[in-house]
């Protein structure tokens, strides 16, 4: 695990046992200024945003800790997002009070060594020239992803070309690393058009983006995948990714259910 991050505005409130957790480290700039609630075996981070708090929990007791806040009226609907360890599921009464519903579980995976170079040709895309083509590919290959080219934290997009355009794409966003000023990369938006699946394009895209991140100085490269997508998980394991967190997420009942099956 990475060395403990020196304390900052939010980190100073986080118990020391959590400060070397890679998932938490990767989110600290996103969570700067968040409220922190912790006890012996749980941690909740509660950043305030315009459309309701987006809560991240750590530790097996985080569901219980959150339920207590809900019972006391310290956390209320609407929420933007809720993310807890899978073993810390939120009880049905708290879900009803917060007007959230569970999504399928997902795994947060990390690579710290570059995978074998892709055997299929993958190119780094120029957003000035290829943004429309990336969006067109995503619309067919991964319509449920929230990843979009040109976001503020965008680090790049890679693609596999076919005779009629892009067959598949993957993007990377900037996250925090183990130390102040260091970075990690998070892969997202992986999608291969249905007509091109089963040919190794997904693995080649993931390998190329992972190698680029580690070669560029990232402390690690991460991705998220739905826990029931065994095909993708087995692929990522072959590429050297290890599962570090098994998560469960909840979303407002009014929001369409996410459908991304790979690294979303």
Per-residue confidence (pLDDT) for residue 259, from 0 to 100? 44
Beta bridge partners of 58: 43
Per-residue confidence (pLDDT) for residue 132, from 0 to 100? 97
Long-range CB contact pairs, 115-120, < 8 A, 24+: 115/206, 115/207, 115/210, 115/211, 115/239, 115/240, 116/207, 116/239, 117/207, 117/211, 118/203, 118/204, 118/205, 118/207, 118/208, 119/200, 119/204, 120/160, 120/199, 120/200, 120/201, 120/204
147 within 8 A of 189, measured Cβ to Cβ: yes
Close Cβ partners of 167 (under 8 Å, ≥ 6 residues apart): 137, 159, 160, 161, 192, 193, 195, 196, 201
Please work out, in degrees rounded to the nearest 5, the angle formed at the alpha carbon of residue 199 by the alpha carbons of 197 and 205.
85
| Ranges assigned E (strand) in the chain | 35-39, 42-46, 54-58, 81-85, 100-102, 106-111, 123-125, 154-162, 165-176, 183-192, 221-226, 242-252
150 within 8 A of 126, measured Cβ to Cβ: no
What does the chain come to in residues?
A: 264
In our burial notation (b when 16+ CB lie closer than 10 A, e otherwise), range 194-228 reads eebeeebbbbbbbbbbbbbbbeeebbbbbbbbbbe
Chain centre distance of CA 231: 18
DSSP, collapsed to helix, strand or coil, labels residue 117 as coil
CB neighbourhood size of 89 (10 A): 16
Per-residue confidence (pLDDT) for residue 260, from 0 to 100? 43
DSSP, collapsed to helix, strand or coil, labels residue 262 as coil
Report if pTM > 0.95: no
- Output the tens digit of pLDDT for each of the chain's 264 residues: 233 333 344 667 888 888 889 999 998 777 777 888 998 889 999 887 767 778 999 999 999 999 999 999 999 999 988 999 999 999 999 999 999 999 989 999 999 999 999 889 999 999 999 999 999 999 999 999 989 999 999 999 999 999 999 999 999 999 999 988 899 999 999 999 999 999 999 999 999 999 999 999 999 999 999 999 999 999 999 999 999 999 999 999 875 544 445 555
Strand 106-111 relative to strand 221-226, pairing: antiparallel
**What are the structure tokens assigned to 85, written together?**
């360890």
Per-residue confidence (pLDDT) for residue 264, from 0 to 100? 56
Residue with the two structure tokens 């190119």: 123
The CATH class for the domain spanning 110-252 reads: alpha beta
Radius of gyration of the chain, Cα coordinates, nearest whole angstrom: 19
Per-residue confidence (pLDDT) for residue 6, from 0 to 100? 34
Q: Whole-angstrom distance between the N-terminal and C-terminal Cα of the chain?
A: 24
Per-residue confidence (pLDDT) for residue 256, from 0 to 100? 53
């Amino acid at each position: 695990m990475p060395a403990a991050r020196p304390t900052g505005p939010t980190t100073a409130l986080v118990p020391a046992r959590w400060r070397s957790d890679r998932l938490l480290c990767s989110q600290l700039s996103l969570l700067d200024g968040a409220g922190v609630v912790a006890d012996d075996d749980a941690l909740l981070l509660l950043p305030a945003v315009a459309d309701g708090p987006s809560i991240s929990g750590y530790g097996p007791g985080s569901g219980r800790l959150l339920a207590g806040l809900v019972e006391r009226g310290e956390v209320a609907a609407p929420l933007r997002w809720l993310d807890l360890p899978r073993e810390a599921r939120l009880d049905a009464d708290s879900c009803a009070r917060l007007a959230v519903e569970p999504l399928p579980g997902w795994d947060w995976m990390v690579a710290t060594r570059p995978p074998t170079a892709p055997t299929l040709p993958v190119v780094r895309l120029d957003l000035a020239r290829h943004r429309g083509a990336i969006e067109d590919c995503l619309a067919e290959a991964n319509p449920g992803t929230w990843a979009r080219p040109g976001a503020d934290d965008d680090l790049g997009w890679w693609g596999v070309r076919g005779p009629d355009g892009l067959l598949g794409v993957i993007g990377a966003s900037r996250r925090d690393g183990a130390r102040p000023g260091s970075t990690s990369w998070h892969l997202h938006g992986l999608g291969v058009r249905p007509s091109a699946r089963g040919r190794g394009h997904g693995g080649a895209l993931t390998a190329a983006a992972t190698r680029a991140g580690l070669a560029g100085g990232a402390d690690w490269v991460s991705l998220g995948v739905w826990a029931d997508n065994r095909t993708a998980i087995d692929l990522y394991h072959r590429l050297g990714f290890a599962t570090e967190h098994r998560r469960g997420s909840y979303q407002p009942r009014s929001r369409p259910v996410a459908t991304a099956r790979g690294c979303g």
